[in-house]
Amino acid sequence: MDFFETIMFPFKWLVSIIMVGFHEGLTLIGMPAANGWTWTLSIIGLVLVIRAALIPVFVKQIKAQRGMQLLQPDLKKLQDKYKGKTDQLSRQAMAQEQMAMYKKHGTNPFSACLPMLIQMPFFFALFQVLSGISNNAKAGQGVGAMSHDQVVQFDESSIFGAPLSASLLHGGGGGNQTAVWILSIVMILAMTASQFITQKQIMAKNMSEEAMASPFMRQQKMMLYILPIVFGVGGINFPIGVLIYWTTTNLWTMGQQFFVIRRMPTPGSPAAKALAERRAAKGLPALSILTGKKDAAADAEAEAAIVEAKGQRVQPQRKNRKKK
């Protein structure tokens, strides 16, 4: 077992245990153990459990991104302050001021990346479990918590006549090759379309004017079209079981991003303006851009203004007296 396999071993066991648990639960309620739909629902259940467990990580990532966005004006001023200064002392002073700024606001550039790094081992493990089914079935081995019998059941199972272990490029499984082609193409299109829609709605609704005008935006627009093509081309090598996983997780991401854009949009973005207008129309207070809850600071300022207004004494006006 190489170093990478050693690292991935516990993650493979975890994801395979979840999938086996769903499979056994579905068989207990009457679904056939070797049926392709039983294993398909097990894969979907696996994705839902993993993604649901990572919701707190995702929320932390959103808050870190919001914190970094709030710091952008201050970071821009800091960069302008040291613009053109390339000596060692200036660079060291700039780095120290940046770290002090991050510490003061409780965020840093790596906070937004850390949640994604936490998720990567789970996704690699999912891919290894699902894509290694056929090889392990032929070798008489199990995969993680899946026994050899369960591996064989998965390898021989199919939906719409297409084996879950078959792929568009390599076929396999001895099923209906036309069904493999049609189902693979449909899944690849669904996988790439959901990914494109997710990124498109982020760029169209959840980016501020400053972000849209940045040079980095040009690269983002290129990636919007390049990544779906890369995944689409790579999808011809993915077994149908893996395509089910990727499509399910992409649909989850799309729904999750829709919720975030509607409830916790990026400050200054069209979605943030739309949220403010909706809440103002209903007479509701503003929401914090970091938590998506009531902005306590804004409410405190409003209450203070009301108290101050009430505390001002209104001088009574004297009535004009009639002269006798």
8 A C-beta contact, residue 225 and residue 200: no
More confident residue, 59 or 243: 243
State the pLDDT confidence band at 230, using cuts at 50, 70 and 90: confident
CA 57 to CA 116: how far, in whole Å? 8
According to DSSP, the residues that pair with 171 across neighbouring strands are: 167
The two tokens of residue 2 are 């190489």
What's residue 20's pLDDT? 92
Quick check: 186 pLDDT over 90? Answer: yes
Comparing CA positions, the residue from 165, 171, 183 lying closest to residue 129 is: 165
CA quadruple 269, 271, 277, 280: dihedral sign: negative
**Residue 314's pLDDT band (boundaries 50, 70, 90)?**
very low
pLDDT at 211 over 70: no
Q: Select the more confidently predicted residue: 99 or 303.
A: 99
pLDDT, position 199: 83
Is 275 within 8 Å of 265 (Cβ atoms)?
yes
Provide the residue ranges of all domains of the chain, joining segments of one domain with +.
3-85+93-266
How much is the average pLDDT of 246-264? 87
Residues 125 and 8: their CA atoms lie apart, in Å, by: 6
- According to DSSP, residue 31 is labeled -
Q: How far apart are CA 188 and CA 194, in angstroms?
A: 10
Give residue-wise pLDDT tens across range 116-170. Answer: 677 778 878 877 887 778 788 888 888 888 888 888 888 888 899 888 888 887 7
| 245 CA to centre of own chain | 15
Among the ranges given (13-17, 214-218, 315-319), the one the predictor scored with the smallest mean pLDDT: 315-319
pTM for this structure?
Answer: 0.74
Instruction: Give the model's pLDDT for residue 190.
Output: 92
* Mean predicted confidence (pLDDT) in 290-296: 53
- pLDDT, the chain, mean: 78
Asked if 165 and 175 count as a contact pair (C-beta separation under 8 A), the reply is: no
Of the chain, the percentage scoring pLDDT greater than 90 comes to: 14
pLDDT above 80 for 286:
no
Sequence-ordered strand ranges (E) for the chain: 158-159, 162-163
Q: Above 70 in pLDDT, residue 304?
A: no
For residue 24, what pLDDT is reported? 93
Query: Average of pLDDT values for 103-107?
Result: 73
Q: 313 falls in which pLDDT band (50, 70, 90)?
A: very low
